[in-house]
Amino acid sequence: MSQGTVIVAPGLSSFLKSLKTTPVEPSVEHFISLLKRRQIRNSRPCAIATTALLLRVVGEFKGRDAAKLVKRIREVGRQLTSAQPREVVVGNIVRRVLGLVREVVDENIDGETNATSDPGHPAPAQHDSLHRPLLTSSISQYSPLKHAAAEPMDASFQSEATSDSGDISKRPPLLASHTSYAASAGTGLTQSLFGIFSQPETPSASNTPTGQQSPIGKGMLTSLNLERLTDFSKSNTNFDLKAEVMDGIRELQDELEQSDDLIAANALDHIHSNEIILTHTASTSVQKFLLAAARKRKFTVVHAETFPHDHTATHGILLTGKKRENSTVDEADWKPLIAAGIEVYVIPDSHVYAIMSRVNKVILATHTVLANGGLVAAAGAHMIAKAAKNHQVPVVVVSGVYKLSPVYPFDLDELIEYGDASSVVPYEDGDFVDKVDVEAPLFDYVPADLVDLYITNLGGHAPSFLYRIVADHYRPEDITL
Amino acid sequence: MSEPTGGETAPSPAPIVNDSTTTSGTPAQPETAAPPPAPPSKDAKTTEAAAGPTKLSAAELKKQKQAEKQARRAQAKSSGPPAPQKGPSNKEGAKSQKESKQSSKDDKSKSLPMRRRNSQPSVVTLKETKKESRKESKKDSRQPGLFFGHLYNQPRQHSIVGATKEVHPAILALGLQYSSYIVCGSTARMVAMLLAFKAVIDSYQTPVGTSLARHLTSHHLSPQIDYLRSCRPLSISMGNAIRWLKDIIIKIDPSTPEAEAKRDLISEIDDFIRDRVTAADKLIIDHAVKKIENGDVILTYASSSIVEKTLVHTHKAGIKFSVIVVDSKPLFEGKQLARKLAHHGIPVKYFLVTGATHAVKQANKVFLGAHAMMSNGRLYSRVGTAIISMLAHAQSLPVIVLCESVKFTERVALDSIVGNEVAPSEEVLSEGERQELLPLKPHLPAGLLTKLGESTDKAGVEKANSSGEVLKWIEASDNLQMLQVLYDVTPAEYINMVITEYGSLPPSSVPVVHRLSMDKQETRK
């Protein structure tokens, strides 16, 4: 690895720099050690690093066997997630890339078998509509919502779906591959939502590669995929699997880059003049969201500082717009809220309940969003959400789709990471530390019923709808890495 | 003078005041007192060499006499209603205060070596002085504190510089202890105040031509109270105690000889402390201990002396239980509580309020102290208490409040905003936190930087790398403010039980008990 030459403290930027010059294996090792040492932490840096690494992995992959590529990515993914299972985002990105490979494969198979498959064929359509909800339910089998959203809107969306097919390039590919069987349940709704929210944005509002598919080439989304993968690798050799997957990963990178801006584009729909907004911790997504609203409206922000882990970053982001003095590479310069003329009041976390009666809206940053609509966020988020609920204040969660995880929280404690206790009580206080058990959880789990709205780069969603977006972004085969 | 209590019944001042001797003052929520040496009683006497006419140092004696003489003269001159006399003297005080602020910055820092506790070390006092004065001038242009604007009345007094001459040395000492949170917690503050008043009364001499009953309250006691208020707003218990004291002073028969009247008053105060605090605490502890069983996990927030006593008592009774202390910045009162409990051998876990959800999950009972119980059944207590009770309520844990009836008030409150006590916002950021922010300087927005440049020019020689720097950033940025209050109001529905010396009751019975205890007071006299 190239740390010898780089004198920066190890972190995301040094990793990205070294990635260019280092071969894949050492890079994987490097990333794993960074994850383990928590030198890369939090969702966005992890996501950026993972995509960059996987791009290299795919780039260095020799051979044309898709199954082997899947196996390879999976292997890397397993290593990464076991290095730091609580950075769920790493797993998310790996799954997205796996889905990408399958996508590319499917398209090409369909391209070949197109002649034989009838687009309007009823049987696959039915198969599809039955099958999809089943798949999602395997993600969240305890979700009470699974039956509610699965069946109803069948034919009603058909017309819309077909009319949509014009701007197919703006649609996420999984859906696109549905369009020929437009009757399939739920697709219509997703499409219309995607349509609404992605229209004004740049084309990359859709998040996985779209360029390659022909509007006619359609595929079935079944678990036959794996068999097909192997079949395919034998039969088909005249397309560039690697290049297409790499293109897809680059688009994923674009998505990561743009997700904050896409989220921020919704801001004016949710923030009105003279509102009092409560938020917590230091989150670029939230800050950009508020900034976008600040361009047109005047409001007041109350910021809980999230002591003891994030308070420095919180004050930093409020004063300067950056979390740390060495801001990461991807963060372009943007001014803090105070410079945009927004009044910001910093309160200690204990004041949340006292202030809540005057707050109009709570905006939470998140670490991971789970398939059941709950979220894992910085410690203190639960009490904020709960206090908001008790005061009937709407709770809005701002999150990129890449934070949306197919994991269902069976064991909540598994998701919670505990931080450095010395930030609560310094180790100098030996007497205290010896006798008293100091705990410093980094995260809180906020159940879905405390959240009123999710705003992602795809638009606004009810918490109960998230499982559907999960189904759109991850292949069921990849749920367990 | 103030020794009488010491002997009999292991009573009042000593236990309450001493109970936090372990560590140098930090203290505590509703109660818990004082710094290492029992503060009010002893401090008042020793450090200030105050009080009892017998023990006064010569200089102080002179000063005091002068003060009294002046008061007498002023009164003789005006001989009218108290108002005109009070007015000028107050103004005078204010003027001297202003003057001293301009001139004697160094004075101030000297006079105040331990202005704030260690957990939250503050900037050099010098800077604060500057800040205060600047804040004053700025006040009109900048409306402080969003919701709490109505509470920013006057900057808090952190020194004895502006005190009027009537203020008794014991009170001066106490005021400093209030403003630096060394005496903290409503019971401790009330007891400390009453003990200081004993010294005040003891050294009081009725001027010729008036009676003690008429003169003491309005002319001698109220400047003391005003000074205490300027150090930190009066607690509800203090208000109750002052009302009671004024009441008994007025009821003194004018024909009683002065010495006798003073003796009566002092013993009344001792009785009050004994009845309403010492004995009441005992009864409450007896009640509360029964609520703790083997294997319980008791959660408490910040620090309350009565909760602490209850837990220690239960532990000594041989019941095995563990305690979770949830705490919050900036006072970190719970740290002291956790330390003391651990010292007694009770297993203790310590969380900050951000981890409250996790803490509440592990607990099965919640014990809270109170600053006051409102007449609509709401609990007025250290900020953050409402969060704990909300989470506990959501988990169906019993929430039990321990509160002496002297802290009941006929006031009502709906939210934590209308009535509250704001604390200086610079306390939000501790020294260490400011230090961590320093490297951000080059990234500050340009507008702020230029403004800062100006202000540093104005201020002259200011070291760039001191941690006070960060405060200046915050002050200079028009839109960024720190907000800090001390209390919040917990809705009655989160509280399952209030344990007082009259027994255990639901929060809805608070007004009844309050009236009951008032009646009792009346009839006792």
DSSP A302-344: EEE--TTTTHHHHHHHHHHS-SSSS--TT------GGGGT-EE
In chain B, the residue whose alpha carbon lies closest to the alpha carbon of A327 is: B443
Sheet holding B297-301, edge to edge: A436-438, B348-352, B322-327, B297-301, B365-369, B399-402, B497-500, B503-505
Residue A424 CA to residue A426 CA, distance in Å, equals 6
Per-residue model confidence (pLDDT) at position A390: 95
How many angstroms separate the Cα of A272 from the Cα of each of A34, A268, A290, A295?
Answer: 42, 7, 11, 12
Identify the residue with better confidence: A175 or A316: A316
Q: Where are the alpha helices (DSSP H) in B251-401?
A: 258-273, 280-289, 305-316, 333-343, 356-362, 385-394
Give the mutation candidate from A350, A351, A429, A433 for the B interface (greatest B CB count, under 10 A).
A350
Q: How many other CB atoms sit within 10 Å of the CB of residue A224?
A: 11
Q: Is the pLDDT of residue B142 over 70?
A: no
Quote ipTM for the complex: 0.75
Burial class (CB in 10 A: 0-12, 13-18, 19+), A46: buried
In chain B, the residue whose alpha carbon lies closest to the alpha carbon of A306 is: B354
Q: Does A302 touch chain B (CB under 8 A)?
A: yes
Burial class (CB in 10 A: 0-12, 13-18, 19+), B442: exposed
Closest CA of chain B from A339, distance in Å = 7
Q: Is the pLDDT of residue B111 over 90?
A: no
Which residue's entry shows tokens 């859906």? A175
Least confident of A75-79, B290-294, B436-440: B436-440
Among the partner-chain residues B145, B350, B354, the one whose CB lies closest to the CB of A306 is B354
Q: Is the pLDDT of residue B82 over 50?
A: no
Per-residue model confidence (pLDDT) at position A227: 57
Per-residue model confidence (pLDDT) at position B71: 56
Which residue's entry shows tokens 């029992």? B38
CB contact under 8 A, B146 and A302: yes
B137-174 residues labelled b (16+ CB within 10 A) or e (exposed): eeeeeeeebbbbeebeeeebbbbbbbbbbbbbbbbbbb
Q: Output the six-digit token pair for A366.
A: 């998140």
Which residues have C-beta within 8 Å of that of residue B54, sequence separation ≥ 6?
none
Per-residue model confidence (pLDDT) at position B49: 38
Residue A344 CA to residue A303 CA, distance in Å, equals 7
Chain A residues with CB under 8 Å of B361 CB are none
Three-class SS of A352-404: HHHHHCCCCEEEEECCEECCCCCEEEECCHHHHHHHHHHCCCCEEEECCHHHE
Among the partner-chain residues B330, B443, B479, the one whose CB lies closest to the CB of A341 is B479
Closest CA of chain B from A348, distance in Å = 7
Among the partner-chain residues B342, B356, B483, the one whose CB lies closest to the CB of A346 is B483
Per-residue model confidence (pLDDT) at position A99: 92
Give me Rg for the CA atoms of chain B: 24
Closest CA of chain B from A68, distance in Å = 44
CB contact under 8 A, B147 and A358: yes
Q: Which pLDDT band, with edges at 50, 70 and 90, does B97 fall under?
A: very low
Q: How many other CB atoms sit within 10 Å of the CB of residue A25?
A: 11
Closest CA of chain B from A469, distance in Å = 29
Among the partner-chain residues A351, A379, A438, the one whose CB lies closest to the CB of B354 is A379
Q: Is the pLDDT of residue A115 over 80?
A: no
Residue A87 CA to residue A467 CA, distance in Å, equals 20
Percentages of chain B per state (helix, strand, coil), in multiples of 5: 55, 10, 35
Chain A residues with CB under 8 Å of B384 CB are 349-351, 353
Nearest-10 Cα torsion for B232, B234, B236, B242 = 150
Per-residue model confidence (pLDDT) at position A461: 94
CB contact under 8 A, A338 and B329: no
Identify the residue with better confidence: B518 or B173: B173
Q: Does A386 touch chain B (CB under 8 A)?
A: yes
Chain A residues with CB under 8 Å of B444 CB are 319-320
Which residues have C-beta within 8 Å of that of residue A147, sequence separation ≥ 6?
none
- Among A314, A316, A318, A336, smallest CA distance to A326 is for A316
Q: Is the pLDDT of residue B400 over 50?
A: yes
Residue B247 CA to residue B245 CA, distance in Å, equals 5
In chain A, the percentage of residues whose pLDDT exceeds 70 is 69
In chain A, the residue whose alpha carbon lies closest to the alpha carbon of B394 is: A386
In the Cβ-directed half-sphere of A409, how many Cα atoms lie within 13 Å?
A: 22
B487-505 residues labelled b (16+ CB within 10 A) or e (exposed): bbbbbbebbbbbbbbbebb
- Among B490, B480, B353, smallest CA distance to B425 is for B480
Pairing of strands B379-382, B372-373: antiparallel
Per-residue model confidence (pLDDT) at position B143: 52
How many angstroms separate the Cα of A213 from the Cα of each of A190, A422, B178?
Answer: 19, 53, 74
Give the mutation candidate from A353, A358, A439 for the B interface (greatest B CB count, under 10 A).
A353
Q: Which pLDDT band, with edges at 50, 70 and 90, does A347 fall under?
A: very high
CB contact under 8 A, B474 and A319: yes
Q: Output the six-digit token pair for B472.
A: 């200046």
Contact map slice: A 86-115 vs B, CB within 8 A? none
Least confident of B137-151, B191-205, B216-230: B137-151
Chain B residues with CB under 8 Å of A386 CB are 390-391, 394
Chain B residues with CB under 8 Å of A432 CB are 335, 338-339, 342
Per-residue model confidence (pLDDT) at position A121: 43
Among the partner-chain residues A308, A327, A352, the one whose CB lies closest to the CB of B352 is A308
**Mean pLDDT within A219-223:** 43
Average pLDDT over all residues of chain B: 76
Q: State the DSSP string of A402-468.
A: GGB-----S-HHHHPPB--GGGTS-TT-HHHHHHEEE--BSEEEE-GGG--EEEETTEEE-GGGHHH
Is the distance from CB of A358 to CB of A338 less than 8 angstroms? no
Residue B218 CA to residue A75 CA, distance in Å, equals 83
Q: CA torsion sign, B394 to B400 to B401 to B405? A: positive
In chain A, the residue whose alpha carbon lies closest to the alpha carbon of B385 is: A350
DSSP at B220? I
Identify the residue with better confidence: A199 or A16: A16
Per-residue model confidence (pLDDT) at position B66: 61
Angle at A198 (CA atoms; ends A193, A201), nearest 5 degrees = 160
**Mean pLDDT within B231-243:** 93
Residue A69 CA to residue B318 CA, distance in Å, equals 65
Residue B291 CA to residue B284 CA, distance in Å, equals 11
Identify the residue with better confidence: B248 or B63: B248
Per-residue model confidence (pLDDT) at position B521: 75
Per-residue model confidence (pLDDT) at position A126: 38
Q: How many other CB atoms sit within 10 Å of the CB of residue A268?
A: 13
Q: Output the six-digit token pair for B66.
A: 């002068």
Least confident of A330-344, B205-219, B220-234: A330-344
Q: Which pLDDT band, with edges at 50, 70 and 90, does B162 fall under?
A: confident
- Among B331, B385, B40, B340, smallest CA distance to B183 is for B40
Q: Is the pLDDT of residue A221 over 80?
A: no
Per-residue pLDDT tens digits for B347-357: 999 999 999 99
Nearest-10 Cα torsion for B411, B417, B423, B424 = -150
In the Cβ-directed half-sphere of B425, how many Cα atoms lie within 13 Å?
A: 22
Average pLDDT over all residues of chain A: 76
Per-residue model confidence (pLDDT) at position A233: 52
Q: Does A64 touch chain B (CB under 8 A)?
A: no
The number of helix segments (H) and strand segments (E) in chain A equals 20, 11
In chain B, the percentage of residues whose pLDDT exceeds 70 is 68
Q: How far is CA A322 from the centre of its chain?
A: 21
Q: Is the pLDDT of residue A302 over 60?
A: yes
Domains by residue range for chain A, with CATH: 1-113+236-258 (1.20.120.420), 118-218 (no CATH), 265-469 (3.40.50.10470)
Closest CA of chain B from A87, distance in Å = 19
Identify the residue with better confidence: B282 or A429: B282
Chain A residues with CB under 8 Å of B145 CB are 345
Chain B residues with CB under 8 Å of A302 CB are 146, 483
Chain A residues with CB under 8 Å of B149 CB are none
Which residues have C-beta within 8 Å of that of residue A332, sequence separation ≥ 6?
none
**Mean pLDDT within A78-105:** 92
Identify the residue with better confidence: B185 or B118: B185
Q: Which pLDDT band, with edges at 50, 70 and 90, does B489 fall under?
A: very high
Chain A residues with CB under 8 Å of B442 CB are 325
Inter-chain Cβ pairs, chain A and chain B, closer than 8 A: 197
* Strand partners for B314: none
Chain B residues with CB under 8 Å of A390 CB are 390
Chain B residues with CB under 8 Å of A359 CB are none
Identify the residue with better confidence: B298 or A86: B298
Q: How far is CA A142 from the centre of its chain?
A: 22
Chain A residues with CB under 8 Å of B338 CB are 432, 436
Amino acid A144 reads P
Q: Which pLDDT band, with edges at 50, 70 and 90, does A211 fall under?
A: very low
CB contact under 8 A, B328 and A348: yes
Q: CA torsion sign, A267 to A273 to A277 to A283? A: positive
Contact map slice: A 318-337 vs B, CB within 8 A? 318-322, 325, 327, 335-337
**What is the number of residues in chain B?**
525
Element (H, E) at B133: helix B125-138
Per-residue pLDDT tens digits for B328-345: 988 899 999 999 999 999
Q: How many other CB atoms sit within 10 Å of the CB of residue B13?
A: 26
Is the distance from CB of A276 to CB of A347 less than 8 angstroms? no
Domains by residue range for chain B, with CATH: 4-104+161-280 (no CATH), 290-418+486-524 (3.40.50.10470)
